[in-house]
Amino acid sequence: MSARQVLQVGPLKPSLAQTLKDTYDAFVLPDGEERSAFLTEHGPEIRAVVTSGRTGVDAALMAALPNLGAVVNFGVGYDTTDVDEAARRGVVVSNTPDVLTDCVADTAVGLMIDTMRQFAAADRYVRAGQWSASGNFPLTRQVSNRRVGIIGLGRIGSAIAKRLSAFGCTIAYHNRRRVEGSPYTYYGSPVELAAVEVLIVAAAGGAATAKLVNREVLEALGPDGYLVNIARGSVVDEEALVAALRDGRLAGAGLDVFADEPNVPAELLAMDNVVVLPHVGSGTVETRAAMEELTLRNLESYLATGALVTPVPTHAIARR
């Protein structure tokens, strides 16, 4: 194997970036004016790109890498990579499924609890001295025994459903298609599903799911309903969400993802019925280490054999 066949695209976990540098002598794709000259000089050398779901590889970059064979993705989501163009060019794509399922599902449940019980807001209330000055914190909403709808009953959606079943919740779901053997009630559209008390978004991002949760869905969820999103910001119409919360047409929201990360709408930051997290669903030491290990296994396998350990179907949108 000749040297320097690997290209890092976008920021990665520091230890992963260091391994790419030390073990593979990987290039790092520069930004700005240097990029064009770099691609002209080194583009033909690259066989594999390592990137993340926050950066990805678009069609233009693929065109500048004529010998690219694999996009190795750190993360389960790969909607920022043009999978249709990859399939057309014969470029295989990998992700890191399964290893982050538990932590992301835990995050969804944590957001649901925090949003409905307003623990983060209550913490701020105590720290601001309001408990002694203004009395008890206002009553909140019970979490157990709720009717919960899940958009996207894949690995993560199923793990969320399993956890919430232990809370006595009644689970329903919407998918592109019915999940055979599922014990949960299936609805054919997000609007039909949204007649619940809590709607959790666990679908993949990408063009096929852009603004899937729109104004109509939020109206169906209603002023007593809560939205939790641990999927991609693109799946929710963020402007419609902000308007619904501002106008009291939605009870609250727990959000780990946003349409234009790291930028969060200022109106959301001022709302005590909204919990905002900086896209930390898989952000534990254990999970990120497992994701790194699987990313490197995919890269090593491709360079050695031409096959990936965990390939994704580049012609389809996968459910998280």
On whether the CB atoms of residues 52 and 288 are closer than 8 A, the answer is no
Cα(89)–Cα(173) distance, integer angstroms: 35
279 labelled catalytic: yes
**H-helix or E-strand spanning residue 239:** helix 238-246
**Catalytic residue (one of 34, 239, 261, 293):** 261
Report the relative pairing of strands 252-255 and 147-151 from DSSP bridges. Answer: unpaired
315 labelled catalytic: no
Cα(103)–Cα(282) distance, integer angstroms: 5
Integer angstrom CA distances of residue 178 from 153, 172, 307: 9, 11, 31
| 213: β partners | 236
292 labelled catalytic: no
**Catalytic residue (one of 47, 174, 232, 319):** 232
On whether the CB atoms of residues 209 and 234 are closer than 8 A, the answer is yes
| 7: β partners | 27, 49
**Catalytic residue (one of 47, 146, 279, 319):** 279
- Residue keyed to tokens 């232990």: 166
In 118-213, which residue ranges form alpha helices assigned H by DSSP? Answer: 119-127, 130-134, 155-165, 190-193
What are the φ and ψ backbone dihedral angles of 89, each rounded to 5 degrees? -90, -5
Catalytic residue annotation: 232, 261, 279
